[in-house]
Amino acid sequence: MSHPKKKWGQHFLRNRGAVARIVEAVEPAPDDVVVEIGPGEGVLTEKLSELPNQLIAIEIDPELSERLKKQYGDRITLINDDAMEASLPARPYRAVGNLPYNAGTPILRRAVADPNCRRAVFMLQKEVADRLVANPGDEAYGYLTLFVRLYASARILLTLEPKSFYPPPKVRSAVVVLDPDPKPFASESLIQLISASFRMRRKKLVNNLTEFGTREEIVAAMERAGIDADIRAERLSLEDFARLHEAI
């Protein structure tokens, strides 16, 4: 048994039923590479290595990386690196993993925005998973919801209690399945607009957008986009933001 390291937010999955459902959800095409992020003790790796696809595992912990290398040898390609910086395949791949709590969101954003990613099946904090499937007006709805929606559709596959892990985290977890659904209007400047819109959640949208023009200019742009000048960001859909971006 490995000693979990707090600095990497390690919580090792112990629920075998969950492992089977996660691996089943990957559904790789014959030519897809499977990329496991944060294999840890290898509970998912064991099942993923049975697939006929090439398996790449990215593990930040050198101790665990060495252990997996000894265990699997040439059956898998092991990369001892940070998943935020490691090279991702330049060909179609499926990403899967029990993401570390302290880096789950940026890893998730990196994967969904990558045009080579054909599906991601990720274990995350339930609170983060809820943000991915939230609707306008929901408390969980915000920047992350919309960022992911620019590139992918999300659904929750299953929810897990803390006792499914060692050590048990203080929160519940959920597995999300993300499938590519890139929007034609996705752009860096639209992402900046959405980010600014949620900077101060309780403020009206117009007050968050001062960097994009004067108040009068923003109100005029909102009118052109058919958006109420008194609205808050959490009420707008992704398509509303796309229209506003165009108007600004």
Chain segment 156-207, per-residue pLDDT in tens: 999 998 887 677 778 899 999 999 999 999 999 999 999 999 999 889 999 9
Are 34 and 117 part of one and the same domain? Answer: yes
pTM above 0.85, yes or no: yes
1 within a domain of the structure (yes/no): no
Between the CA of residue 190 and those of 81, 86, 87, 196, 246, what are the distances in Å?
Answer: 31, 27, 26, 10, 9
Are 105 and 193 part of one and the same domain? Answer: no
Is the separation of the CB atoms in 201 and 145 below 8 Å?
no
Are 58 and 104 part of one and the same domain? Answer: yes
Q: What is the DSSP string of 212-233?
A: GS-HHHHHHHHHHTT--TT--G
The percentage of the chain sitting over the pLDDT mark of 70, rounded to a whole number, equals 93
* pLDDT digit string, tens, across residues 225-247: 999 999 999 999 999 999 999 99
Q: Give dist(CA 247, CA 237) in Å, integer.
A: 15
Provide the pLDDT confidence category of residue 16 given band limits of 50, 70 and 90. Answer: confident
Mean per-residue pLDDT, 63-90: 94
pLDDT of res. 13: 76
78 within a domain of the structure (yes/no): yes
Residue that finishes a domain, picked among 180, 211, 234: 180
Mean per-residue pLDDT, 84-93: 97
Range of the domain at 230: 188-247
pLDDT of res. 11: 63
Are 37 and 131 part of one and the same domain? Answer: yes
Q: Give dist(CA 153, CA 142) in Å, integer.
A: 15
Are 176 and 216 part of one and the same domain? Answer: no
pLDDT of res. 7: 46
Are 202 and 120 part of one and the same domain? Answer: no
Mean per-residue pLDDT, 65-72: 93
* pLDDT digit string, tens, across residues 122-131: 999 999 999 9
Is the separation of the CB atoms in 216 and 229 below 8 Å?
no
**CATH number of the domain residue 232 falls in:** 1.10.8.100
Inter-helix orientation angle 104-112/143-151, to 10°: 30
| Residue 61 predicted with pLDDT over 80 | yes
Are 77 and 133 part of one and the same domain? Answer: yes
Are 161 and 201 part of one and the same domain? Answer: no
Are 230 and 143 part of one and the same domain? Answer: no
Residue that finishes a domain, picked among 150, 180, 210: 180
Are 103 and 211 part of one and the same domain? Answer: no
| Alpha carbon 69 to its chain's center | 27
**CATH number of the domain residue 132 falls in:** 3.40.50.150
| Residue 82 predicted with pLDDT over 60 | yes
Mean per-residue pLDDT, 10-27: 83
Residue that finishes a domain, picked among 152, 180, 208: 180
Output 56 or 101, whichever has higher pLDDT.
56
Are 42 and 159 part of one and the same domain? Answer: yes
pLDDT of res. 5: 45
Are 120 and 54 part of one and the same domain? Answer: yes
Total domain count for the chain? 2
The percentage of the chain sitting over the pLDDT mark of 90, rounded to a whole number, equals 81
95 within a domain of the structure (yes/no): yes
Between the CA of residue 39 and those of 43, 64, 66, 68, 89, what are the distances in Å?
Answer: 7, 8, 12, 9, 17
